[in-house]
Chains A and B, each alone.
Chain A
Amino acid sequence: MLKRERVVLAGLAGLALVATAAFLGLNLRGDLAFALQLRGVRLLALVLVAVAVAASTVTFQTVTANRILTPAIMGLDALYAFGQTALVFGLGAYGFATLDPRLKFAGESALMLGMALALFLPLLRARMDVTLMLLSGVVLGVLFRSLSALVIRLVDPTAFAAIQGATFASFNVIRSDLLAIAGVVTVVSVAAIWRARHALDVLALGSDPATGLGLDWRRSAVGLLALTALLVAVSTALVGPVVFLGLFVVAVAERLVDTRRHTVLLPAAALVGVVILVGGQALLQHGLGGEGALGIVVEFLGGVVFLALLISEARR
């Protein structure tokens, strides 16, 4: 690891700690234990989302060999939301309501995993350029959102209420009932991605050089896409769809460490994610008094970065 990379990582870790302390400590009053517990749960959720989004975006970008597309832009979270809707439709409101939320999460994740692999593997194998991938991502996103809308129109009012209840998650309404299972899935998936970090470096060279260097490209791509899908399921289940967070986090991290080596980029992206989500929430909540705005702010910044990347890519 170069000196610069070490300095940046240490700096980011420090910032993340400061953000965490600010989030937990600012304006603390009333029953300390209660307030800390409340904030602790939210903090855990934000950290899980940050890590899941960062790791899934880095992995997805490496496997698809581009720096503009993210799982969210390719419509993966819309796919997850469609899975939720389809599950209510299939089971009925009663069946859905009586299911254990963790079982529901597992079912939705499995549904999404299957569909994600079925959809994206052919796209990957055809090795389309970024523009085509982007276009198909937009189309797929619209498709899933429209399918969800269609299903919502087909169901009766009780099922409609159940769907609303299942898909209401956002940064303001974090699904804390799913924290434990989300935590387990995140830790396992991120550990698997971390183990594959050197293979990811090689995969980034493209399928021919990676095969030449002894990687089974297809098997690695399938495995890594599956992990990406799981992590998207985690973040979407906890806080709902966030389109540009991953792109923003990874673009900032990559510029800070100035390398695409995953040993450095993965932790850097995760730390940037924590700083932005936790620090942003602390600042908005206690500094600016607009606690509901985190999602909007993140999407706004991410959208700007997305445009900037598109424009700079077009210039090259």
Chain B
Amino acid sequence: MIRIENVSLTRGGARILHDVSLTLPKGGLTALIGPNGAGKSSLLSLIARLQPLQTGRISVEGLPVDATPGRVLARTLAVLRQDPGVASRLRVRELVGFGRFPHSRGRLTPEDDAVVAATLDQFDLTPLKERFVETLSGGQRQRALIAMTVAQATDYLLLDEPLNNLDMRYARDLMRRLRARADAGRTIVAVLHDVNQAAAYADRIVALRDGRLVAMGAPAEIMTPETLDAVFGYRMRVVEVDGRPMALHHL
């Protein structure tokens, strides 16, 4: 369970998050949606203790994120932010291997190697595993970074715009894989730009706007013209395709 209580965040005088309280149950896929600057990424990085908590409390699986040793938390929670820009001269295989760092502190055991190999395979990276990360295309690098996060084998997975740079096929692949992991009992929180991806794969959608929680619920509850208007600030048509709501947000 991820418990967020009265979290506010101010940066450079600007209010990024405004007294956000929210509880996400264990298991399932949660999509964070909202317009640019809504505070989605900030909320995610606070949960993942990538920036210090200013006010309020956050705990993951009962562990307060600001007081738990990083090593302990890294075995419970894995996070991927938007393109961290890996500068180091690294092979794909080595990058994915870093996902095992919280478990083996850098000395990969045969067990770690097996996890890395399986993860490479899962993300279609086996043919690229000896390539240097800096020579990959944006989408390939994104897949390698997600693979690293997945190789961490944690119960909680936080992803900031994981579909960035992915083509339609890999975006669909990834969402299905995340869905399968959620069905297997893991907890996934992903910032998604495309509400239709969120509607198709998430168990619940959390909508933020201007640092405030605007709406939260099952896709069917959020995917209405009224709620989407309240979140994104314009009216869009919502149609039903094969029983699933779909927003025609581009029209």
Contact = CB atoms under 8 A, between A and B. Distances in A.
Chains A and B bind each other: yes
Interface of A: 62, 65-67, 197-199, 201-202, 204-206, 208-209, 211-216, 254, 258-261
Contact of B50 (A205, A211, A214): A211
Contacts of B48: 211-212
Interface in B56-89: 69-75, 78-81, 84-89
B102 A214 contact: yes
Contacts of A199: 106
A212 B80 contact: yes
Contact of A258 (B72, B88, B89, B101): B89
Contact of A260 (B85, B89, B107): B89
A252 to B, nearest CB: 14
Contact of A198 (B73, B88, B105): B105
Given A201-B98, A206-B84, A261-B94, A212 B89 contact: no
A205 B144 CA distance: 13
Nearest to A199: B106
A286 to B, nearest CB: 37
A215 B101 CA distance: 9
B74 A213 contact: yes
Interface string B232-250: 0000000000000000000
B102 A65 contact: no
B102 A213 contact: yes
B74 A212 contact: yes
Contacts of A259: 89-91
By Cβ-Cβ distance, the 6 closest A-B pairs, closest first, are A198-B106, A214-B74, A204-B88, A214-B71, A214-B70, A212-B79
28 contacts: A62-B88, A198-B101, A198-B107, A201-B88, A201-B98, A201-B106, A204-B88, A204-B90, A206-B85, A206-B86, A206-B87, A208-B84, A209-B81, A209-B84, A209-B98, A209-B148, A211-B48, A212-B48, A212-B50, A212-B80, A213-B74, A213-B98, A213-B102, A214-B71, A216-B70, A259-B90, A260-B90, A261-B94
A140 to B, nearest CB: 23
Q: Which of B70, B72, B79, B81 has the most CB of A within 10 A?
A: B70
B26 interface: no
B78 A205 contact: no
Nearest to B48: A212
Contacts of B80: 212
A214 B86 contact: no
B181 interface: no
A213 B95 CA distance: 12
A66 B152 contact: no
A214 B90 contact: no
A213 B152 contact: yes
B89 A213 contact: no
Interface string B96-113: 001101100111000000
B193 interface: no
A209 B145 CA distance: 10
Contacts of A211: 48-50, 70
Nearest to A261: B94
A213 B101 contact: yes
B79 to A, nearest CB: 4
A132 to B, nearest CB: 15
A204 B87 CA distance: 8
A209 B81 CA distance: 8
A205 B105 CA distance: 15
A202 B84 contact: no
Contacts of B102: 213-214
A59 B25 CA distance: 42
Given A201-B98, A206-B85, A212 B78 contact: yes
Contacts of B71: 214
A254 B90 CA distance: 12
Given A198-B101, A198-B107, A213-B74, A208 B88 contact: no
Contacts of B70: 211, 214-216
Nearest to A214: B74
Nearest to A213: B101
B73 A214 contact: yes
B90 to A, nearest CB: 6
A258 B81 CA distance: 28
Q: Which of A66, A198, A212 has the most CB of B within 10 A?
A: A212
Q: Which of A199, A202, A214 has the most CB of B within 10 A?
A: A214
A198 B71 CA distance: 14
A202 B94 contact: no
B98 A254 contact: no
A260 B50 contact: no
Contacts of A198: 101, 105-107
Nearest to A218: B52
A202 B98 contact: yes
